[in-house]
Structure 1
Amino acid sequence: MSVTPAKNSAQTSRRRGIALGAGVLTAAVLLGVFSYTATKPDGASSSSSTSSAASGDKPAAEVSSDPQEGAYAELEKLARRDAKDPLAQGRADAPVVLIEYADFQCSYCGKFARDTEPALVKKYVDDGTLRIEWRNFPIFGAKSEAAARAAWAAGRQGRFWEFHEAAFAPGAKEKGFGAGRLDELARTAGVEDLARFRKDRESDAAKRAVDKDREEAYGLGATSTPSFLVNGRPLAGAQPEETFTQAIEAAKQAAE
């Protein structure tokens, strides 16, 4: 998982963010603790503003067998369940919604996209149990912002998930996210109208959409990527598949 220090823009976003009830504030604290613990190197001081990532295979939080424990109703309401959302996959009325806050420059987001998400799609999305909703959470500067807007623009032509796959392919991040590279990723993703793609990614609508997602994440207290909600249960980091499976099964049980 990748971590970034809070910046002035982040503080502004948090102030303007969603109104948090007591339960949401508690969950935000948990999410922040999980985020730091998942990436804190051995012997690191809690005063460190940044940290190098430890193994992404180590779970950052235990998932209780109690389907209600660790889940917050106010966080569950963040699921948009818009059947026309191109940045989501799975039935809008699926009993479980996994929300992912991620950055295309984040190595651990790529790890989740390549190693874990396909298995979850095959096991739970395809049978109607799970819906996955992506939130753009660019925290590593201009290139992250550009990639987020480009992904949104690809979604305008129904190719978000194909762009997502191309951007998270092995070695893709190292090639950068300059304008030419974004066009290349769009072609790989099967985006048909490149002129429209370029116009859309530079549009005010793209900026507003990305800002909305980012403010939602900061409003939760998230400062690292990837961060997740599973029916209102916070999880952070490129957790093992088993951790997500446990959370999804518990959420499914609670929804029955």
Structure 2
Amino acid sequence: MAKRRASRRVVEDGNDGPNWLIIGGIAAVGMAVLLGLLAVTVTAGPSAPEPTPVLEENVVAIAEYCEANPDRCIAVGAEDAPVTLVEVSDYGCPHCRDFNADSVPTLKSEYVDTGLVRWVIMPYALSDQTQASAVATLCAADQGQEQALAFHEEMFKLQTTGDFNTAGGFSSVARNVGLDVDQFDQCVAAETYDSQVHFNRQAARQAGVNSTPTVFINGRMISGNVGLEIFSQRIEDALTEG
């Protein structure tokens, strides 16, 4: 009789008590589902913003920039000319020197002097090394646009001399082109246009300039000294397009 009671007790313990293995399994499944839902919620989160178009709102049209900031640029030729050419050069750049020696005289006589092209120069420096030269050119512009153009052209000749990018060299060029040297020297010494050249450098970068010379013909960019024939053809194309 004692054996039967013990046996019954074993059966009752096995059938009527809670099954902890099953309960544990259910809890684990529930926890996995909950964690999965949380993961989906966190991953989805707020929708990612649309990518911003690179430079789309910051691109600078150099001709319009110079027109809006005449104290930062030099302009010669007919204001109503059908073509505007903007030159961005660095005074320490040999290719810029060659461009001004080999192509500019012919382009000026054929297109600027005949009223077909408005020639705009934006004094520029690829680096801080030639910043002072660009500042000096804007000081020359204080005394007239034609005088500033002559100063600009003469500045490239300093590249092969010991006076390159020096106050003495600037004064020598100013004297050669007929500027009031005292007024000019005061402007250079005060670095009057230093911030203006920095603005020019920023505008040029935003317009895509990363080398010199860079020329814009009615807004179309030409990088490098590509030669008189190509510059002339691009001007002719712009004239035809009207």
TM-score, with structure 1 as normaliser: 0.65
Say if 2:137 and 2:151, in contact at 8 Å, map to a contact too: yes
Mind listing any 5+ residue stretches in structure 1 that lack a counterpart? 1-18, 29-73
Change (3 A) 1:76 1:20: farther
Which string of whole-angstrom CA distances, capped at 9 and with x for unpartnered residues, describes residues 148-181 of structure 1? 1111111111221121222123xx2122121111
- The one of 189, 192, 196 aligned to 2:177: 189
- The one of 109, 117, 120 aligned to 1:133: 120
Counterpart for residue 205 of structure 2:
218
Counterpart for residue 46 of structure 1:
none
Counterpart for residue 131 of structure 2:
145
Q: CA deviation at 1:236?
A: 0.7
Counterpart for residue 56 of structure 2:
21
Counterpart for residue 157 of structure 1:
143
Say if 1:90 and 1:130, in contact at 8 Å, map to a contact too: yes
Greater relative contact order (Cα < 8 A, sep 6+): 1
- Pick the structure with more helix per residue: 2
Letter in 2 for 1:151: T
Aligned partners of 1:140 and 1:86: how far apart in 2? 18
SS in 2 for 1:224: coil
- The one of 112, 115, 134 aligned to 2:99: 112
Change (3 A) 1:77 1:182: closer
- The one of 233, 238, 241 aligned to 1:251: 238
Say if 2:63 and 2:219, in contact at 8 Å, map to a contact too: yes
Aligned partners of 1:233 and 1:160: how far apart in 2? 25
Q: CA deviation at 1:204?
A: 5.5
1:178 equivalent in alignment to 2:202:
no
SS in 1 for 2:114: coil
Which string of whole-angstrom CA distances, capped at 9 and with x for unpartnered residues, describes residues 70-92 of structure 1? xxxx5664462889987111111
SS in 2 for 1:88: strand
- Root mean square deviation of aligned Cα: 2.6
SS in 2 for 1:103: coil
Aligned partners of 2:160 and 2:86: how far apart in 1? 26
Matched residues, number = 185
SS in 2 for 1:222: coil
SS in 2 for 1:225: coil
Say if 2:217 and 2:238, in contact at 8 Å, map to a contact too: yes
